[in-house]
Amino acid sequence: MRFLLVEDNAELGDAVVAWLSMEGHAVDHALTLAEAHDWLAVAEYDLMLLDVMLPDGDGRSFLRETRTAERLPVIVLTARSQVADRVDTLDLGADDYLTKPFDFAELEARCRAVLRRRGTPAPVVIPLGSALFDPSSGTLTQDGESQRLRNRELRLLEVFARNKGQILSKSHLLDRLFSQDAEVTENAIEVYVGRLRRRLQQAGVQIETVRGVGYRMTAP
C-alpha cells in the first residue's frame, strides 16, 4: 500500500514512516498542506494520514477540499479528544480519526479497517499454482510447509497475485513499494523479482520479463 502522511511534527512523522516502511508500505511525508498538494498532484495513494493543526492551515479545511475532489480515504490524526471535535471531523468526511499519542500497531490496524470499508479487497488466501499465498500472515505455503516472506517481497507478491496475467511496468512496481524520496532504482525491483522467482519455482508460477515493458505473472 502507498500512504501520504501529512504531519508537521518531524519526529512523529519519521516514526510513523519508519513503522509503516518496516511493514513494507511506501510512505510519502508532507510537513505542510502545500507539500501535501504537491504530492497529490504527482502520485496516487491508497490512504492519507492527516494532522489537523499544520503550519500553513487547518487540516480540516484540506479534508473538505479533498472530499470534493476525490475519494481518497483519510484518517485524521489529532490531539483533540473532545467528542465534539471527533464528530466534526467525521462529519467533514474523515473515514476515521486517531487521538495522539497513539500506538503504531493500532494505526496500522485502523488503516486496514478503513481500506476494507472503502472496498479495497481484504487479504484472502490466494492460490498460486500449487502454493497458497496468505497476504495477511505474509506466508507462502506449499506441500504443507510455510515460508514467511520479507516485507517488500510480501507487498510485491501481493501486487503480482492481484494482477495475474497483466503486464506491470517497473516504474509502477517501484511506485507501489517505495516512497518518492527513496533512493532506489529499477534494479531494486529486479532483485525482489529474482527472490520471488526462486520462491515460486516449485509451485509452477512464473514471473515473465516482458522486454522493454516490465513483468507479468502467469500461474496454472
Q: Where are the domains of the chain?
A: 2-117, 126-218
CA torsion 164-170-171-173 (nearest 10°) is: 50
C-beta of residue 201 within 8 angstroms of C-beta of residue 194 = no
If one compares 205 and 64, the residue with the highest pLDDT of the two is 205
Residue pLDDT, tens place only, 40-90: 888 888 899 999 889 998 888 888 877 655 678 899 998 876 777 778 878
Report field, pTM of the whole predicted structure over 0.85: no
| Superfamily grouping for domain 2-117 | Response regulator (3.40.50.2300)
**pLDDT confidence bin for 7, thresholds 50/70/90:** very high
**Taking every pair of C-alpha atoms in the chain, what is the biggest distance, in angstroms?**
57
Beta strands 145-148 and 139-142: pairing type?
antiparallel
C-beta of residue 4 within 8 angstroms of C-beta of residue 48 = yes
Neighbours of 58 (CB within 10 A): 12
**Level-2 CATH architecture, domain 126-218:** Orthogonal Bundle (1.10)
The yes-or-no verdict on residue 121 having pLDDT over 70 is: no
**What's residue 13's pLDDT?**
93
Residue pLDDT, tens place only, 150-184: 888 888 998 898 888 999 998 888 888 887 767 77
Are 2-117 and 126-218 the same fold in CATH? no
Hey, what amino acid is at 210? V
When the pLDDT of each residue in the chain is averaged and rounded to a whole number, the result is 86
